[in-house]
Amino acid sequence: MIDLQGRVAIVTGAGGGLGRAHARLLAQRGARVVVNDLGEGAETVAAEIVEAGGKARAALGSVTDAARMQAIVDEALSAWGRVDILVNNAGILRDKTFAKMSLKDFRLVVDVHLMGAANCTKAVWDAMRAQNYGRIVMTTSSSGLYGNFGQSNYGAAKLALVGLMQTLALEGAKYDIRVNCLAPTAATQMLEGLLPPEQLALLRPDLVSPAVLALVSDAHPDDPVRRRRRFRGRPHHPDHGHPHSRRSAVGGNPAGTAGRGYGPSRRDRSGSGLGAEPAGAAQGRIHRSGNGGRRMT
C-alpha cells in the first residue's frame, strides 16, 4: 500500500471535482495537504480532510498569480518544513470554435492551464531540488493529445503541459524529481450535461485519484527509455540527435499517464463558454514504439 506519511502535497484547484478527490486520497494516505482553489471550496475541502482525521490547510489564490503561489509554497515550507508533491490540477474551459473565439479567451485558458502549472512548479522547484525529492503531476487532456472540436485554446494549453513535463522530467531526474502527466476523464462540472446520467455515474472522480497516488509515490516507476536517454552534463537537443539514442527519438514519458480514445465531438452551442472533455479517455502510458515513434497503450 502506498504510504505518504511525512510527505507534504499541494493540489491546485482542489476545491471541487478531481482536485478534491486527489487531495482527499493523498491525505488519507498520510500526506499533509495544501488545498488550493480560488474560493471557499478550498476551505470546505480542507475542513473535510481535517474532520476525517487528516492534515490539511486551505490556500486561496489563483494559479495565474505567481507571487501568490510562491507565498503559498513558502507558507507550507514554514509550517510543514518541506513540499514533496505538487498536483497541477486547476483548470477552466472557454470553449468556442477558433473562428468565434476571442484571443482574450485563448490567453485566459493558456494562462490558467499552462502558466498556472509553470507558476506553481517554479514555486516548488528550488525546494524540491534542495531536498533531492519531488513528485509533480501535470493534468493534460485527450483534447490536447488528439484535438477536440471547439477547444483550440484548451487543447493547445494541455499539450503544452506535456512538453513542459517532458523537459522538467529530464531536468529534475538527477534530483529525484519525477514529473508526469495525467489525462483523466471524470464526471465533474466540466462534463455536466454531456453524457447520460448512467454513464456519468461510472466516471466518479475518486476513481481517477489512485493514478495520481501511483505517480506521486516514492516507488514511482522510472522508465528504462528515459534512463537510457538521461544525459550526463549538457542539455539534449532532439533535433541534433542524442549521444545515447537514435536520432528519431523524441519524447518518452517515464510512466506518465496519458489519455486515449476519442469522445463525442462536441461544440458549446449554448454560448455559455462552458463545455466539457471528450468522454472515453482511459489512463495509459506513453511508450515509444520500436521505430522511434509513439503509441498509446
Ligand X SMILES: NC(=O)c1ccc[n+]([C@@H]2O[C@H](COP(=O)([O-])OP(=O)(O)OC[C@H]3O[C@@H](n4cnc5c(N)ncnc54)[C@H](O)[C@@H]3O)[C@@H](O)[C@H]2O)c1
Active site residues per annotation: 154
Q: Which of 9, 89, 125, 164 binds ligand X (CB under 6 A)?
A: 89
Under the binding rule (CB under 6 A), the answer on residue 19 touching ligand X is: yes
Return the residue nearest ligand X (CB atom).
17
Closest to 113 measured CA to CA, from 128, 129, 92, 136: 92
- The contacts of residue 286 (CB under 8 Å, 6+ apart) are 251, 252, 253, 256, 258, 294, 296
Scan residues 173-192 and list those touching ligand X (CB under 6 A): 183-186, 188-191
Residues 122-181 that bind ligand X (CB under 6 A): 139, 141
Instruction: State the binding string over 202-221 for ligand X (x if CB under 6 A, else -).
Output: --------------------
End-to-end CA distance of the chain: 25
Query: Is 258 among the residues that bind ligand X (CB under 6 A)?
Result: no
Among residues 54, 91, 150, 172, the one that binds ligand X under rule CB under 6 A: 91
Q: Identify the CA nearest to 128 among candidates 75, 83, 67, 174.
A: 83
Using CB under 6 A, which of 45, 109, 112, 215 touches ligand X? Answer: 112
Nearer to ligand X, 8 or 11 (CB): 11
Q: Other CB atoms closer than 10 Å to residue 135's CB: what's the count? A: 24
Alpha-helical (H) ranges within the chain are 17-28, 41-51, 66-80, 103-110, 116-131, 142-146, 152-172, 197-200, 209-215, 224-229
DSSP one-letter code for 188? S
Please tell me whether residue 257 binds ligand X under the rule CB under 6 A: no
Question: Residue numbers of the site for ligand X (CB under 6 A)?
Answer: 12-13, 15-19, 36-38, 41, 62-64, 89-92, 112, 116, 139, 141, 183-186, 188-191, 277
